[in-house]
Structure 1
Amino acid sequence: MSKPERHVFVCVQSRPEGHPRGSCGEKASLALFQGFQQAFEAQKLWGRFLLTNCGCIGPCHAGPSVLVYPEGIMYTGVRVSDIAVIVEEHLLGGKPVKRLFAEPEVWPNDV
């Protein structure tokens, strides 16, 4: 396996209904992860990039959250309709999507 250009983590953490922190899972993050899988498959991105579902990465209140390395860019409030722009602009184009950045007090995206 060669080193990927970028690694995308999608939080799919699910907590019980009514949990005070909430969770990305209750905000359709599993559908978001599946949408990324479909985009990776359709555009043959496997190998060039990595995609991993993960547990909590922090800002449960603002999810679903997506974290992209090596830049360490965190996106929050990501919807399935945002996948194409993340793939095209950030993964393929190298330009993070600023409108989806987590609030600075949650995660300072230094770009």
Structure 2
Amino acid sequence: MSAETEFELPQLYRYHVFACHTQRPPTHPHGSCGASGAQALSDRMSKAIEAQGLNDVGFTTAGCLGFCNAGPLMVVYPDGVWYRATTPDDVDEIVMSHLKEGKRVDRLVMVLKRS
């Protein structure tokens, strides 16, 4: 597409959450979000988004997000905020604060760096 034919794409979601769901054996040296309870947290996130009627929030379980030992991880776009939620209450707080009210949950934010 050339610059002369620019157009604006419609935004499908106000937020889109991707949650790692990778499951490795418990003894794997990289660890995994699945081994850290990601399944139950993903289920909680999906149900909480639906219960709050957040039809403008997408939720996708994903494969490895690349920071295995830090898990369970999720990232919220378009903000690019990475969260480490380890309890159902953490998930509920992310849904209510970030996804519903637009306020980042600083205590759960992960600052990740590629080595």
Task: Classify the TM-score, shorter chain.
Answer: 0.7 to 0.9
SS of alignment partner, residue 9 of structure 1: strand
**Partner SS state of residue 86, structure 1:** helix
Whose radius of gyration is greater, 1 or 2? 2
Residue identity in the other structure for 2:65: I
SS at the partner of 1:37?
helix
Is 1:5 the equivalent of 2:7? no
Which secondary structure state, in structure 1, belongs to the residue aligned with residue 98 of structure 2?
helix
Following superposition, which runs of at least 4 residues in structure 1 exceed 6 angstroms of deviation? Answer: none
User: What is the alpha-carbon root mean square deviation over aligned residues?
Assistant: 1.8
Q: 1:74 aligns with which of 82, 88, 94?
A: 82
Give the structure-1-normalised TM-score. 0.85
Contact 1:78–1:100 (CA<8 Å) still a contact in 2? no
User: SS of 1:94's equivalent?
Assistant: coil
Deviation at 1:2, TM superposition (A): 6.0
User: Which blocks of at least 5 consecutive residues in structure 1 are unaligned?
Assistant: 107-111
C-alpha distance in structure 2 between counterparts of 1:86 and 1:30, whole Å: 17
Shift of the 84–39 alpha-carbon distance from structure 1 to 2, 3 Å rule, reads: same
Residue type matched to 1:99 in 2? R
Percent sequence identity over aligned pairs: 40
Unaligned runs of 5+ in 2: 1-9
Verify the 8 A CA contact 2:81 2:109 in the aligned structure 1.
yes
Does the 8 A contact of 2:85 with 2:91 survive in 1? no
| Deviation of 1:78 (Å) | 3.2
Residue of 50, 71, 79 corresponding to 1:63 = 71
What's the secondary structure of 1:44's corresponding residue? coil
Query: When the two structures are superposed, what TM-score results if normalisation uses the length of structure 2?
Result: 0.83
Alignment of 1:1-111 (within 5 A): 3-45=12-54, 47-105=55-113
Deviation at 1:16, TM superposition (A): 2.1
